[in-house]
Amino acid sequence: MKCIVTAGPTFEPLDEVRRLTNFSTGKLGTELANFLTARGHNVTLLIGESATYPGERQARTVKSFSTTADLRTKLKAFSEKKVAAIFHAAAVSDFAFGTVFTEKKPGEFTALKAAKKISTRQGALLVELVPTPKIIAELRGWFPQTKIIGWKFEANGQRADAIRSAKKQLADCSTDFCVANGPAYGSGFGLLDLAEQRHFPKMEKLFTALEQLVR
């Protein structure tokens, strides 16, 4: 089966030398792509340029992405092809930079013009953060016949909160399954659809269950 796995972080530039990103290493998505490849699936791995996981990438096709917009473009480009499943494990940045302001006088802010490198001589800056588009909310429109598996990494709250967020993603984005993990979920992984939820203590057990979805 032809599958797409996304992994690792996107980043959003402040200028040409500074960026906003997250701590995702790309390990889980890379290892999932390797697992599916070893079982005979035709896997394309889309992995963030900033991914730090040093493990081998065994997918048939490996392409890198940079910003959220770049990942969106690369995923949409596959919409004309037959894809059995998309495992969207990439850690997409929730925010991008908007207008950058400098405080010339107390309480008086002036917008800065775009620059290749914002000078530190500007002093303290006030930077607007604007939400990035939710790629997962668009996948069903691009891939109406594809099984779509999303991820919900929750840092705040408890397991019940992580499960609640995963179910909301399923309902809001019309995905088929959602993997819940992170500090809120606790050890292991949850695999949910709208009817049931399962728990897997180890990554390998989760991968086995995910692979069965595309058989």
Note whether 24 and 71 are same-domain residues.
yes
Note whether 69 and 160 are same-domain residues.
yes
- Give the residue from 85, 84, 2 showing the smallest Cα distance to 42: 2
Note whether 120 and 191 are same-domain residues.
no
Q: CA angle at residue 82 from 78 to 84, to 5 degrees?
A: 100
pLDDT at 100: 93
**CA 16 and chain centroid, separation:** 23
Q: Give the torsion sign (CA, 207, 185, 135, 64).
A: negative
The letter for the amino acid at 90 is A
Sites in the chain below the pLDDT cut of 50: none
| CB atoms closer than 10 angstroms to residue 101 | 17
Note whether 164 and 206 are same-domain residues.
yes
pLDDT at 122: 77
Domain boundary among 130, 151, 180: 130
Dist CA 42 CA 36 (whole Å): 8
pLDDT at 123: 77
Q: What CATH number does residue 12 fall under?
A: 3.40.50.10300
Residue 124 is part of which domain span? 96-130
pLDDT at 108: 82
Note whether 7 and 58 are same-domain residues.
yes
Domain count across the chain: 2
pLDDT at 124: 81
| CB atoms closer than 10 angstroms to residue 159 | 16
Note whether 86 and 41 are same-domain residues.
yes
The letter for the amino acid at 166 is A
pLDDT at 105: 76
> Count of alpha carbons within 13 Å of 51, Cβ hemisphere only?
29
State pLDDT tens for residues 29-46.
999 999 999 999 999 999
Note whether 105 and 89 are same-domain residues.
no
Dist CA 102 CA 100 (whole Å): 7
The letter for the amino acid at 20 is L
Note whether 107 and 65 are same-domain residues.
no
Note whether 149 and 206 are same-domain residues.
yes
Note whether 170 and 83 are same-domain residues.
yes
- Give the residue from 104, 99, 98, 97 showing the smallest Cα distance to 122: 104
Note whether 37 and 124 are same-domain residues.
no
